[in-house]
């Protein structure tokens, strides 16, 4: 092998090593993001559970009454202008 070929191979090896390090770093960052997302989901679940327990306790104590979730439209008031239908 010539000196130039050996030098080119060494350069390629260094590039490969840098790429491998970059890939390992990216994989670690991805794992950290996934772990953070899992922690956020876990915290949200705990928060929801705590809120549910708090609401149940308040309901039991008679402080809160549950109402059905129905969509109602308010009746027009005297301040609400009405328009005539188009002719």
- pLDDT tens-digit series, residues 42-86: 999 999 999 999 999 988 888 766 666 666 666 666 665 566 667
pLDDT score, position 61: 86
Q: Is residue 50 part of a domain?
A: yes
Q: Is residue 78 part of a domain?
A: no
Number of domains the chain is built from: 1
DSSP track, 12-53: HHHHHHHHHHHHHHHHHHHHHHHHHHHHHHHHHHHHHHHHHH
In the predicted model, is pLDDT for residue 22 greater than 90? yes
Query: In terms of residue numbers, what domain contains 59?
Result: 21-64
- Determine the average pLDDT of the residues in 25-41: 96
pLDDT score, position 1: 79
pLDDT score, position 63: 77
Q: Is residue 52 part of a domain?
A: yes
Whole-number Å distance between alpha carbons of 13 and 31 = 27
Alpha carbon 45 to chain centroid, angstroms: 13
Q: Is residue 83 part of a domain?
A: no
Q: Is residue 7 part of a domain?
A: no
pLDDT score, position 10: 96
Which pair of tokens denotes residue 57?
Answer: 């306790």
């Amino acid at each position: 092998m010539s000196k130039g070929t050996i030098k080119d191979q060494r350069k390629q090896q260094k590039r490969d090593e840098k790429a491998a390090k970059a890939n390992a770093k990216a994989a670690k960052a991805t794992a950290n993001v996934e772990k953070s997302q899992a922690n956020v989901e876990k915290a949200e679940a705990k928060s929801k559970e705590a809120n549910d327990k708090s609401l149940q306790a308040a309901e039991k104590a008679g402080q809160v009454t549950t109402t059905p979730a129905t969509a109602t439209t308010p009746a027009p008031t005297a301040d609400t202008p009405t328009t005539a239908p188009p002719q």
